């Protein structure tokens, strides 16, 4: 199995960190968001890689769909929901 740079999940992490850093909140809240968010994204990408590896051997015809469509969309949704969850938590902590 060869993992190319684009498949390491780094782009999702960059988008998430950029969104957190662009939010107008205090530095501690940003650091907490990054500290919690990056491991979640790393674990999700690890699950993605393991599933793609498994699919390659068990169901080869599904590889292109799972790799190109399902996991790409799923990771985009995870980044959005992770950011939204962090922002919701930070916004309600001020009140």
pLDDT in tens, 25-39: 999 999 999 999 999
Residue 63 contacts residue 49 (beta carbons within 8 Å): no
The structural domains of the chain, with segments of one domain joined by +, span: 7-94
Looking at residue 7, its pLDDT comes to 75
Looking at residue 30, its pLDDT comes to 95
User: Which parts of the chain register pLDDT below 70?
Assistant: 5, 94-95
Q: Which residues contact 62 (CB under 8 A, 6 or more apart)?
A: 55
């Amino acid at each position: 199995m060869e993992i190319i740079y684009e498949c390491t999940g780094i782009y999702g992490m960059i988008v998430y960190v950029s969104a957190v850093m662009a939010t107008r909140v205090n530095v501690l809240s940003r650091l907490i968001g990054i500290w919690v968010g990056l491991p979640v994204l790393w674990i999700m990408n690890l699950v993605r890689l393991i599933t793609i590896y498994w699919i390659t051997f068990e169901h080869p015809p599904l590889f292109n769909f799972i790799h190109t469509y399902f996991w790409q969309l799923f990771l985009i949704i995870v980044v959005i929901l992770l950011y939204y969850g962090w922002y919701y938590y930070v916004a309600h902590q001020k009140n």
